[in-house]
Amino acid sequence: MPDTATLTHDRAMAAAGLKAAVRILECWGTSGEQGEAILRVSHSTYARARRGALAEIKLDRDQLTRISYLLNIHAALGILFDNPENRYGFMAMANHNPYFNGRSPLSLISGGDIAALYETFKRIDALRGAQW
């Protein structure tokens, strides 16, 4: 069984990840409702993360996985694009590649389906040369 220090550390790391994910979503131009659906968190939790008012939080495995996908999408976009317009605008741009079929990556993940988030991550990560 984890000790109190480990639980506190894990909850602090979860809060840091959530705050980072919310900042990324804001840079991508998402609404609060979209961000809540993508991360599968409550309105109050999202609002507290947006304000940076989370010191610790307990998140489930699904929520942590969603945060991980977002952070990795952001990292891949940072590798692909030097300019902020593309780095932060790519997710809202229409994409005519297979899977997206003219839709923006953001429109696909905004429904809150973790499979869409995974597929979006996989395809963006592949653009930087990742092998699947």
pLDDT one-digit tens code per residue, 17-47 = 999 999 999 999 999 999 999 999 999 999 9
Q: Which two three-digit tokens encode residue 116?
A: 């869409």
Cβ neighbour number for residue 129 with a 10 Å cutoff: 9
Whether this prediction's pTM lies above 0.85 is answered by yes
Beta strands in the chain (DSSP E): none
The amino acid at residue 125 is D
- Mean residue pLDDT of the chain comes to 92
Q: Which residue has the higher pLDDT, 3 or 69?
A: 69
